Structure 1
Amino acid sequence: MDIVWIVLSIVCFALAIIGVVYPIIPSAPAYILSLVFLALYTGFDYFGWFFYTAQGILVVLMLVIDFLTSYYGITKIGGSKAAVWGSVVGLLLGPLLIPLPLFNLLIGAFIGAIVGELIAGGRNLKKLSQIGLGSLLGFIGGVIGKFVLIFVGMILVAAALIW
């Protein structure tokens, strides 16, 4: 049974990394599952309260970073909340509607923010393109931030397993 927990932990961790780039796969829940499967392998008492607290903080930061980077990227340029939600919808629909791997996310975030801003009443073409670019930069910032958080989390896992 041990090998099952290890394999499930690795698969969920891989899904968490993929979910950083493809938001259709929720990276934070996949990361949590990878930790749960690891704890089922080692025993929940193997890791101390510091480990679980640190991992919990990292997961919360992963959840918050997505929204904050998109929100900041769009609103800093003057976009509305509708543009932020449009960007989120574009990130989710992009992979389903645009057949270009990886670019579908970037295009989806860009177009989604523009459509959201259009719905909110934006009409200036230059401003719309800036809002789309802000959404794109926010998405890229979020990806980088979540990769860093997952890397830090895995360093904590490795350190806890070694000691």
Structure 2
Amino acid sequence: MTTLLWILIALCFLAAFAGLVYPVIPSAPLLIVGFLIYGFGFSFTELTVSFWIIQTVFIILLFTLDYLVSSYTVDRRGGSQAAKIATTVGLITGPFIIPGIGLLIFPFVFAILTEKIISKKTWKDSVSIGIGTVLGILSSALLKGIAMLLMIVVFIMYVV
């Protein structure tokens, strides 16, 4: 039973990292499910109040990083609200249409087309905004990945 519980915990953690490539996968909740499996399967004794406070800070960080980094990069290049919405649509649909690379291609193309067609910007400005969306996505994924890894390290430090 111990092995099965650890396998389930590890699968939750791995699935959470898959959320970096497939944004519809709820990364933070999957990490919490892994922690809860440990608690219910073994004991909540090691998962103290300080553990949950640290994890809550990381979860808040995960939820805000994506929005803040993406918005900053699009805003910095003069992107519109419509481009942000189009980028979000591209983020959700892209990985399912073209796994992996679709995560970058669709937001990039959607941002460019939105800025060109709706906001009537030049091709140069539209492409610059599209590049900003890709940089935002990559930066956000990197930062979220680091935060998730730190959440797991904290978990291991508390349970070992």
After TM superposition, the score normalised by the length of structure 2 is 0.91
Q: Which residue of 1 aligns with 2:40?
A: 40
Report the Cα distance in structure 1 between the residues aligned to 2:125 and 2:119, rounded to whole angstroms: 12
2:122 to 108, 121, 124: 124
Report the Cα distance in structure 2 between the residues aligned to 1:116 and 1:61, rounded to whole angstroms: 29
Q: Which residue of 1 aligns with 2:134?
A: 136
Q: Which residue of 2 aligns with 1:159?
A: 157
| Per-residue CA distance 1:132-154 (angstroms, 9 max, x = gap) | 00000000001110111011111
Report the Cα distance in structure 2 between the residues aligned to 1:47 and 1:138, rounded to whole angstroms: 34
Residue 109 to residue 53, structure 1, CA distance change in 2 (3 Å): same
Report the Cα distance in structure 1 between the residues aligned to 2:144 and 2:118, rounded to whole angstroms: 29
Deviates more, 1:114-123 or 1:153-162: 114-123
Q: Which amino acid aligns with 1:111?
A: V
Q: Which residue of 1 aligns with 2:56?
A: 56
Q: How does 1:7-46 map to 2 (within 5 A)?
A: 7-46=7-46
Deviates more, 1:127-136 or 1:4-13: 4-13
Q: Which amino acid aligns with 1:26?
A: P
Report the Cα distance in structure 2 between the residues aligned to 1:119 and 1:85, rounded to whole angstroms: 14
Residue 44 to residue 111, structure 1, CA distance change in 2 (3 Å): same
User: Structure 2: which 5+ residue stretches go unaligned?
Assistant: none
RMSD: 1.6
Aligned length: 160
After TM superposition, the score normalised by the length of structure 1 is 0.90
Report the Cα distance in structure 2 between the residues aligned to 1:40 and 1:120, rounded to whole angstroms: 52
Report the Cα distance in structure 1 between the residues aligned to 2:116 and 2:25, rounded to whole angstroms: 28
Q: Which amino acid aligns with 1:148?
A: I
1:105 to 94, 103, 106: 103
Q: Which amino acid aligns with 1:113?
A: A
Report the Cα distance in structure 2 between the residues aligned to 1:123 and 1:108, rounded to whole angstroms: 19
Q: Which residue of 2 aligns with 1:66?
A: 66
User: Structure 1: which 5+ residue stretches go unaligned?
Assistant: none
| Partners of 2:21 and 2:95 within 8 A in 1 | no
Offset, 1:2: 4.1
2:113 to 99, 112, 115: 115
Offset, 1:69: 1.2
Deviates more, 1:124-133 or 1:20-29: 20-29
